[in-house]
Amino acid sequence: MQPLAGRVAIVTGAGRGLGRAYARALAAAGARVVVNDVGCGLDGRGADTGVAAAVVEEIRAAGGEATPSLEPVGTVAAGEAIVRTALEAFGRLDVLVNNAGITARHPIEAFPEDAWARIVAVHLTGTFACARAAFATMRTAGRRGRILNTTSGAALDHVYPGTAAYAAAKGGVVSLTRVIAAEGAPHGITCNAIAPLARTRMSTAFLGAEDEEPTALDPAALGPLVVYLASEASAGVSGAVFTFRRGRIGIGRLDVREEIAPRDAGWTLDELHARLPMLLGPAG
């Protein structure tokens, strides 16, 4: 039996790259899929309804069930509309994959406010808005739902100059994931995040991923991990951040080093000058 038979999944940003790979993998595992994508450019501008429609047709051609959603993520109203599409088309919701993303690269002193707002709206507010609507639906229906968010190495262990809005939003997604996991625990709703590295238009444009071995960065390679986290088999996994790079799966953590010995009397400036470099280590 297919691991997701009878389940309904939403994938945002499902028209290209990772989202397309996730939607196809979930459908192949038996899920009925809402393919959400406004078809915008990498900077969040423009729209193309054919992007989501093409993935829906791919899924249907392979024997699966899918329906398009053209809502642009980034508002509570949009999150509710996307969830409503799942309920109207398939009658239930079991899985949400927050994948939609845009970006733009600017130095911090010249980062346009409108670009900042667009990026944060899609990555952080969009993740919140869709999770908010999905969580309420799952809890009310008594479903052991699965919410899967997308973060980035830019929020964990890599620094890419010019990506202030993207990195900040993805850092917020990590914290949001942990809070949703804690709130979902009493209801059997899990929430995890993936920090993927794959060959997509975003990675190609900003990270030079086109120089990598093509098969090593195929978005389809992440499909099994997404299916697992969407399934009943992952019931005991929540609040985790998974990294996926060139076929290697890891756990993403913030780097917290050992504390220096506490002092009841507090620290003097001279003592901090002497001891803090020891805490920071070579990277400091």
- Is-catalytic flag, 166? yes
Distance between CA atoms of residues 110 and 102, nearest Å:
18
**Catalytic-role residue among 22, 160, 170, 228:** 170
Reading the block at residue 233, the tokens are 């088999």
- Exposed (0-12), middle (13-18) or buried (19+): which is 212, by Cβ within 10 Å? middle
- Is-catalytic flag, 22? no
Longest dimension (CA), the chain: 71
Question: Cα 271 to the chain's mean position, in Å?
Answer: 42
Give the HSE-up count for residue 115: Cα atoms under 13 Å, Cβ half-sphere.
17
Q: Which helix (H) or strand (E) holds 243?
A: strand 241-245
Q: Which helix (H) or strand (E) holds 196?
A: strand 190-196
DSSP E strand stretches across 28-156: 32-36, 66-69, 95-97, 146-150
Active site residue ranges:
166, 170
